Amino acid sequence: MCGRYTLAPGNLALFAERFAVAAPPGEAAGYNVPPGRAVATIVQRADSVPSCEMFHWGLIPAWAQSSERQYKMINARVETVTEKRAYSGLLERHRCLIPADGFFEWQPQAEGPKQPWWFHLAGAQLFAFAGLWTSWQPQPDVEAVDSCTILTTAANAVVSPVHGRMPLIISREDEAAWLDPTVPATEAMALLARSANDQLLRQAVSRGVNNTRNQGPECIEAVDPAGPDPATGALF
């Protein structure tokens, strides 16, 4: 799964040029972005051009009676996404990009708490997760909530020693096609076969990232997984 990611404040200055959209507000950035938060999401609505909007991370299906399960749909398995009612129709016209510069996964240990690892591209450059989005409006007089989810797949050789799943990173040359609602769902799904996941690097980081209140650059500082942790006593 992908339950935490990074979008360093310094990368917001590069955001507009990298994705050819207006940069998101400063609160989109973070070294420890958790589910349930408003996150920078790039969408291309019908008859429009791509734009960056702030969406709730945790998809709320359009047919939901309440938003109580919103945190539980932070990820969608690419292998079964076409079979699930919650994602019906979204692959056809509600694909999105969720920009980031890294993500975390946790590795079980023989003893003690799990060890967090930060996965990123060389130079911590910006990339985009493949995502889906929808709008939820339970009543006509209630403001709609736009929400999103990140597509995941089986982990590759870089991620699998830590976790069995990983988020799908769209190759840069395929980002525009993934967004384009005129591109059929079958063609869009084919883009995911040539993702940028094989370019990932990993490094062990402090268990301080376990606490979502910790949002500073120390969240991605490398540590020796066999040595003492700077965040002694942190639990996940």
Phi first, then psi, for residue 187 (nearest 5°) are: -70, -40
Rounded CA-CA distance 94/108 in Å is 35
Rounded CA-CA distance 41/83 in Å is 24
In terms of Cβ atoms closer than 10 Å to its own Cβ (0-12, 13-18, 19+), residue 5 is buried
Rounded CA-CA distance 34/212 in Å is 7
> Catalytic residue at 2?
yes
Locate 56 and state its tokens: 């709730």
Q: Among the options 52, 53, 96, 105, which is catalytic?
A: 105
Rounded CA-CA distance 103/100 in Å is 8
| Residue the block writes with tokens 């830590």 | 162
Rounded CA-CA distance 218/122 in Å is 18
Beta strands in 144-195 (DSSP E): 145-154, 165-167
Return the active site residues: 2, 105
